[in-house]
Structure 1
């Protein structure tokens, strides 16, 4: 017999934002969700690191621009020392920070105007170990972010290409695994990849898992970051001709 929802393990959430009103709003929102529990609030990145280590939350909602220590630095410290999933709270104006956040170990990002139901769904998704890739936003931000990180103010922007370590890791992939990596980087879901390659979703899932293990990254978001950093895919329109994936 299935357990009643009330007996299911609750997802422990840590809220990190320098605006008290924002934290209060999230606390009220999550207070009516039977499977979510706010275990703490932090007003800056340094406090977030301290609480993450002490409270061991499952999911952390992390703002970027904060005093003392910003969200990117806090994310890097937290993901290096805990298994917590960090979701970055951002706006479209924060594009330059998003890639750095993902490189720091964040499992995804949410826009601050996200619908409450979508926010709750995102937290559940992250808690289950899945990365949050919103193709209609992620691809654009990562392309722009990669470009800004590669640009040298003193000279022309270099062509993207893998580092020696990335090249070594990429060489461990099979031809099909690399093909799957490219499609993941374009924001395609396992189901869409399965349809494109005429294989089953379970097969795609197996290939994605192999890519994660061989490349030493923790989730699909990190796969996307590595793929763009290493030049596995370019920043031109994706194979789906600009369609928006769910």
Structure 2
């Protein structure tokens, strides 16, 4: 993996169509600042290669034979939080909201111009987010319906709101840190800031207020997906 300031961008291509993988590899390899470090045709093979090669970017097709790409993106967030998943798929843009919630940094359809794919790889490697025009329109529409009112907690920064949402999903500090690529101490500091800004008595009250405002996937007062919330670690 490059250090973000020097060296090439290491890319892993995950797609079950060998001809498409060859085309993407050939196009990316023509760029002096991009190196394709491997190819995978299944999610399991992709995870194994990620552990071996630590790529900066993983190009992910959502239609894989063993697990779907959204689940692969979730697992990448756990095992390689510094790797940026970039979706490149033929599936409808309807899937974009699920992919973004799972941790995708970008979402392009396979009919995107090759130059746009190259630019997207560079952008997500630099920490930006990239979405094709059709995808962006669908994403904005989905977020308008699925996300809570942004003014519910106007004093929170974007990162604080993101962490509050993960708290509302029942995640502990250690899991949040792995997902966001942050140290546990940094997460604890964010949580303390959130509790202070919400003027909540404690973490539990902050989570309850977040769920009532629509953050997280759970109904107010219930642990996420009907299970037990993770302990604070």
Same fold (TM over 0.5): yes
Indicate yes or no: 2:12 matched with 1:11.
Answer: no
8 Å contact kept, 1:79–1:106: no
Show the counterpart of 2:110. 112
What's the offset of the Cα at 1:8?
4.5
SS of 1:129's equivalent? coil
CA distance in 1, matches of 2:132, 2:63: 22
CA distance in 1, matches of 2:137, 2:33: 31
Tell me the TM-score normalized by structure 1. Answer: 0.58
Indicate yes or no: 2:27 matched with 1:80.
Answer: no
Please give the per-residue CA displacement for 1:52-71, whole angstroms capped at 9, x wherever unaligned. Answer: 12211000100001101121
Show the counterpart of 2:88. 89
What's the offset of the Cα at 1:48?
1.1
CA distance in 1, matches of 2:99, 2:29: 28
Show the counterpart of 1:200. none
* Alignment partner of 1:215 out of 157, 162, 167: 162
Please give the per-residue CA displacement for 1:3-40, whole angstroms capped at 9, x wherever unaligned. Answer: xxxx9410000000000001111111112110000001
Tell me the TM-score normalized by structure 2. Answer: 0.61
SS of 1:72's equivalent? helix
CA distance in 2, matches of 1:34, 1:12: 11
8 Å contact kept, 2:108–2:135: no
Unaligned runs of 5+ in 2: 166-179, 181-212, 216-233
When residues 146 and 71 of structure 1 are mapped into structure 2, their CA distance, relative to the original with a 3 A threshold, is farther
Give the number of equivalent residue pairs: 165
Instruction: For 1:192-231, list aligned pairs within 5 A.
Output: 210-216=157-163, 230=214
* Alignment partner of 2:53 out of 52, 55, 60: 55
Please provide the CA RMSD for this pair.
3.2
CA distance in 1, matches of 2:116, 2:132: 12
CA distance in 2, matches of 1:114, 1:135: 10
What's the offset of the Cα at 1:96?
3.1
When residues 19 and 13 of structure 1 are mapped into structure 2, their CA distance, relative to the original with a 3 A threshold, is same
